[in-house]
Structure 1
Amino acid sequence: MIVEVIKPLVETDPSLKVKSVIAEVQSKFNYTTSYRKAWLAKQKAIANLFGDWEASYEALPLWFEAMVQKDLSAAVEIETVPAYQGDEVVQDVRILTRIFWSFYPCIRAFRSCKPIIQIDGTHLYGKYKGALLVAVSQDGNGNIVPLVFAVVEGETSDAWHFFLTHLCTHVVTRDSVGLISDRHDSITSAIARSNGSWEPPRAIRMFCVRHIASNFSRNFKATYLQKLIVNMGYCRTVREFNVQYARLRERGEAYTRWIDRILRQEFTLAFDNGYRWGYMTTNIVECINGVLKGARNLPITSLVKATFYILNGLFTRKRAETEVRRNAGHVFSEYASNKLQSNQQAAGNIQVNLFDRQNEIFELREMTSGIEYVTDRISYRHAFTCCANQRLDWQQDVHEVSKGRPKITRFLNEMDMRDMRGHRRCRLCGGEGHSRSRCPHRVGSSAGGSAPMS
């Protein structure tokens, strides 16, 4: 009875919470069902809508076989183990342990992406547990490009080794690729077993600064210092980093000893040699985890199909947008050609000579006019040329206009500093419960802080 009631809700949102199922039953029948009964009803509803949980595992190899016949360049890797009945091997039956897949448009798209990859794992929420591993990149227009997926038993060293090995084999075929992840020990162990495939010069391992701040907070129980750790990572010059580092050392030598155990090129912009491309967190891969949130509640074949249909829609839409721009370009080509020629005559080609990267000072030469400039990352085309030359993200220097963030639906942890912080602290007197503008000790304000400024 419960299954029939919640079917429309589950079909719309497979990530429907169990407490929502309980609330729906309460509103329909004025009866409070148990958590277990509501959970079982949700699993049965998913099985009725998206296929039986056990049969889905049996159907998965057949679905992949049909997909590969249509797309011969797709990458599929399946690991299985024999099934035993007692001490005897069951013939013609094998148990799925891990599966890796990537679609050819994703593989080909990485050739035109920035040489940066973010990896992350997230839990499956269906009847059978496991983890979904994902790797993503980003193109020059800022579009997130999912690269590969894998369903494994969990975030173990063997599972990450399986994932990274096939990622390197099928997708990452060039050197000097930046790999950003958290500091999970299993990822570190898998990289150590990769025979150099994920070590310099093939790849450069770097960490998400939010995870480092989270680890720091968990180790010292000092959430008020998390922002300082993040600021150290975002420092663009050695001088700025040293200032933040000195502030941390003033608060305790133990803090700096802990941070010194992490190589500075692994978590800071000032020492990254351009391999981070301005990416300090694993946010883009977490975006894909959010997109697949509902699919993570489905049987395994439906989960794989969800990645196929989502990416098929993405690439179809991007192709249509490209065609529109291409047609517009033909109409505009004659005008643009004349305009470009006049601009080249006026401005000339720009040559960049790195003058002082630590302090972000660059020397420029306009080849036509011979005029030399020295710029400290100012705006306009000279600054863009400098950023492109040194693989810096110019968008971080452009002020953003935001209308507010969407409501967070995931469980918060110590990384969510803004959402978990305590009372507001005044930067003038250090007191809690008010800001600097309303501080009672501010010059010209009354004791209550409500009088106008003199």
Structure 2
Amino acid sequence: MDYCVQEGFAINVLWADKTRYTATCYAACCVWRIHSSRLADGITWAIKKIEPNVHTCGGLETYNPICTVKWGAMKLLEDIRANPDIPGKALNELLFQRYGVYMRKSSVYNLKNYAVEKLFGGYDQSYADIPAYIKILCETNPDSKAYFSSVESESLPRQLLFDKIFISFTAMWKGFLAGCRPLIGVDGTHLKGNYGGILLSAVALDANNEIFPLAYAVVSVEDKENWSWFFWNLYNLVKDSSRGDWTIISNKQKGIDLALMDVWPTAKRRYCCRHISRNYKKQFAGPLMYILFWRACNATSQFTSRKAMEKLKESGGDSVMAWFAELGDSSTWSKHRFDPNVCNDSNTSNFVESFNSTLGIDRCRPIMKALKNISKDTISCKAYMSKPGEYEIHEGKSHFPLSLNNKICSCGAWQISDIPCRHAIRAMVHAKIDPHTVVLAWYSVRTYKQSYSHHINPLPDKEQWPAYADLPIIMPPTLKRGVGRPCRNRRREEGEDKKGKRTQTVKCKKCGCLGHNSRTCKGGLTEKEKRAAGGEPVLVRHLKVRDQSNAAKAAKAAATSQPTEVNDSQFSLSQSQSQV
């Protein structure tokens, strides 16, 4: 086959068995023919006849029917391994550069799918491997919490279809209980493989405010039932802990609140302010309203919160106050109402989405591939002491009463996060106290190490798994195709610029204005004209030039519309010349 591609022709196989092979040229006008057979040793093959020695056809140009999907996949396998997200157009260019052939667009996509399946496994087989994966995971990582469930097919009795799977390694949930604060962020993201699905993830923050995965699950749809199942498993991870201030932060996704009310009613709630701001910007546009919104969300004291809400009412009226009233209790979105025992002032779920974004292209891979990859300002302040341990901090025009004995600052930031704010640090400098000694153990190196003291034991390769005889055979879930081509780019938020090819603003070389070039300029002032015009405003100078231009055009039009006087002598002379 490689020889045919190299020489630029294709063949029709007339006969092919264990002893003989006969083929002719693919072109009907060509009489080229080859015949070969196996020799007596049973191993060696010999070409017995080639006639004629050269093809009588002109050969093929760029499309060769002998270039099959399997052939192309084997030739480009390492390129796809290095970049699994390589586009089909680039694969076609590689084929042409190396072998001088192109393949049809549909064949290139089939080629890529074949290679991806060979590299990362098939989508159907990955679901069949789930029971063995759960079993080997629990054997290599004792005390891990891993469950899966299946449903019976409606069309084929006694055939099990994948429903959902939940995984939390021992190192995850034990490390969370040992060194993380009781704030859990949850979120769901779509998987983009052949059978889709939703990845539910629970993430915490460690002592260094870095992402710490707690658990993850794959479900078919995002609804109350699946969220209830996910929260029930989460609750079982932490129910034996002595803490009772567990807080869940998320956006207002489908079924989360209802599921928590059913299976974990004692958990406190926070809503992601970034997701709330999407709906806010749809009704209250403008940068001022957006700044005031975040000022209200990030207020760490009742005073700053009240001032922010007063500014919002002045700018947006009663409608903005009614909108905030519909959000519910401010303890779910404003920092000054957060429970100080949680020691975490996060009011967005960005850290959960950061964890989801680590999947990258693996969201398009088989489920087993995705599951395995988941497991892989201080400013100048003045301190005035009223009595030992009690201070008044002056920062600009603002005054903040502060108590070192009770660890309370009127700005509210110290109580929420239990990290000394800039006012507390200034008072400690005055009292000659090391700020590191008053920070809670949640932020200590010892606690940080405890979070990672447990280890995830590596799982053996699938080829080395034991042959489990009592495991069920799991089939993929029922395929639910959406309308149109699957979307690969993320949806842009309200007010977010659309992604474009141009990353810089165009500046006109003629008039110096932004937003257009000299070719599409509408007649603005040149730089020389601007300098000659002096200190007049740009708009005034532009209007003057426009009026002068309009007057010149009107004078020219009036001149062309007047009748031209003809000299009689000139007319008679030209007439006599024409007669001659």
TM-score range, shorter chain: 0.5 to 0.7
Deviation at residue 75 of structure 1 after TM alignment:
0.5
Counterpart position of 1:186: 255
Q: Residue 175 in 1 paired to residue 241 in 2?
A: no
Q: Aligned partners of 1:390 and 1:58: how far apart in 2? A: 42
Out of 39-48 and 49-58, give the one that drifted further: 39-48
Deviation at residue 73 of structure 1 after TM alignment:
0.4
Counterpart position of 1:289: 356
Q: Residue 49 in 1 paired to residue 114 in 2?
A: no
SS of residue in 2 equivalent to 1:120:
strand
Counterpart position of 2:272: 208
Q: Aligned partners of 2:352 and 2:108: how far apart in 1? A: 32
Which of 323, 340, 344 is equivalent to 1:258? 323
Deviation at residue 358 of structure 1 after TM alignment:
5.9
Which of 369, 383, 391 is equivalent to 1:302? 369
Counterpart position of 1:236: 300
Deviation at residue 102 of structure 1 after TM alignment:
0.8
Q: Aligned partners of 1:148 and 1:168: how far apart in 2? A: 11
Counterpart position of 1:63: 133
Deviation at residue 162 of structure 1 after TM alignment:
1.2
Deviation at residue 126 of structure 1 after TM alignment:
1.2
1:211-253 per-residue CA deviation (whole Å, 9 max, x = no partner) reads: 11012224x2626433432232112222222222222222332
Q: Aligned partners of 1:42 and 1:217: how far apart in 2? A: 42
1:66-103 per-residue CA deviation (whole Å, 9 max, x = no partner) reads: 121122201112121112336xx22xx31111110110
Q: Residue 414 in 1 paired to residue 493 in 2?
A: yes
Q: Aligned partners of 2:83 and 2:326: how far apart in 1? A: 44
8 Å CA contact retained: 2:181, 2:343: no
- In structure 2, the CA distance between the partners of 1:10 and 1:221, relative to structure 1 (3 Å rule), is farther
Deviation at residue 7 of structure 1 after TM alignment:
3.4
Q: Aligned partners of 2:230 and 2:322: how far apart in 1? A: 33
Q: Aligned partners of 2:365 and 2:335: how far apart in 1? A: 39
Counting only pairs closer than 5 Å after superposition, residues 321-400 of structure 1 correspond to structure 2 as: 352-355=405-408, 357=410, 376-379=423-426, 388=440
SS of residue in 2 equivalent to 1:119:
strand
1:165-200 per-residue CA deviation (whole Å, 9 max, x = no partner) reads: 111112464310221100113212211222xx2x34
8 Å CA contact retained: 1:176, 1:204: yes
Counterpart position of 1:133: 200
8 Å CA contact retained: 2:198, 2:218: yes
Counterpart position of 2:450: none
Q: Which runs of 5+ in 1 are unaligned?
A: 311-349, 363-373, 392-408, 425-431, 435-445, 450-454
Q: Aligned partners of 1:59 and 1:359: how far apart in 2? A: 52
Q: Aligned partners of 2:187 and 2:74: how far apart in 1? A: 36
8 Å CA contact retained: 2:149, 2:162: yes
Counterpart position of 1:72: 142
Counterpart position of 1:116: 183
**Cα RMSD for the two superposed structures:** 3.6
- In structure 2, the CA distance between the partners of 1:51 and 1:27, relative to structure 1 (3 Å rule), is closer
SS of residue in 1 equivalent to 2:196:
coil
Which of 338, 347, 356 is equivalent to 1:280? 347
Query: Percent of aligned pairs with the same residue?
Result: 22
SS of residue in 1 equivalent to 2:335:
coil
SS of residue in 2 equivalent to 1:184:
coil
1:251-296 per-residue CA deviation (whole Å, 9 max, x = no partner) reads: 3322221112222111111111324612121121112112112322
Q: Aligned partners of 1:280 and 1:213: how far apart in 2? A: 12
Residue identity opposite 2:406 in structure 1: N
Q: Aligned partners of 1:245 and 1:390: how far apart in 2? A: 33
Counterpart position of 2:285: 222
SS of residue in 1 equivalent to 2:348:
coil
- In structure 2, the CA distance between the partners of 1:238 and 1:128, relative to structure 1 (3 Å rule), is same
Deviation at residue 388 of structure 1 after TM alignment:
4.4
Q: Aligned partners of 1:276 and 1:414: how far apart in 2? A: 30
Q: Aligned partners of 1:384 and 1:418: how far apart in 2? A: 43
Deviation at residue 150 of structure 1 after TM alignment:
0.3
8 Å CA contact retained: 1:76, 1:100: yes
- In structure 2, the CA distance between the partners of 1:411 and 1:145, relative to structure 1 (3 Å rule), is same
Which of 164, 168, 186 is equivalent to 1:102? 168
Deviation at residue 417 of structure 1 after TM alignment:
4.8
8 Å CA contact retained: 2:274, 2:348: yes
Q: Aligned partners of 2:250 and 2:256: how far apart in 1? A: 8
**Max radius of gyration: which structure?**
2
Q: Aligned partners of 2:324 and 2:82: how far apart in 1? A: 46
- In structure 2, the CA distance between the partners of 1:447 and 1:204, relative to structure 1 (3 Å rule), is farther
8 Å CA contact retained: 1:226, 1:417: no
1:423-452 per-residue CA deviation (whole Å, 9 max, x = no partner) reads: 99xxxxxxx989xxxxxxxxxxx6679xxx
Q: Aligned partners of 2:89 and 2:414: how far apart in 1? A: 61
Residue identity opposite 1:210 in structure 2: R
Q: Aligned partners of 1:359 and 1:85: how far apart in 2? A: 60
Q: Aligned partners of 2:204 and 2:425: how far apart in 1? A: 28
Counting only pairs closer than 5 Å after superposition, residues 24-39 of structure 1 correspond to structure 2 as: 24-26=91-93, 28-29=95-96, 34=105, 39=109
Deviation at residue 376 of structure 1 after TM alignment:
3.3
Q: Which runs of 5+ in 2 are unaligned?
A: 1-68, 377-402, 416-420, 444-487, 506-512, 516-534, 539-580
**TM-score between the two structures when normalised by the length of structure 2:** 0.53
Counterpart position of 2:212: 145
1:11-37 per-residue CA deviation (whole Å, 9 max, x = no partner) reads: 2344x16xx222332454385854x66
- In structure 2, the CA distance between the partners of 1:260 and 1:40, relative to structure 1 (3 Å rule), is farther
**What is the total number of aligned residue pairs between the two structures?**
348
Q: Aligned partners of 1:8 and 1:231: how far apart in 2? A: 52
Counterpart position of 1:82: 152
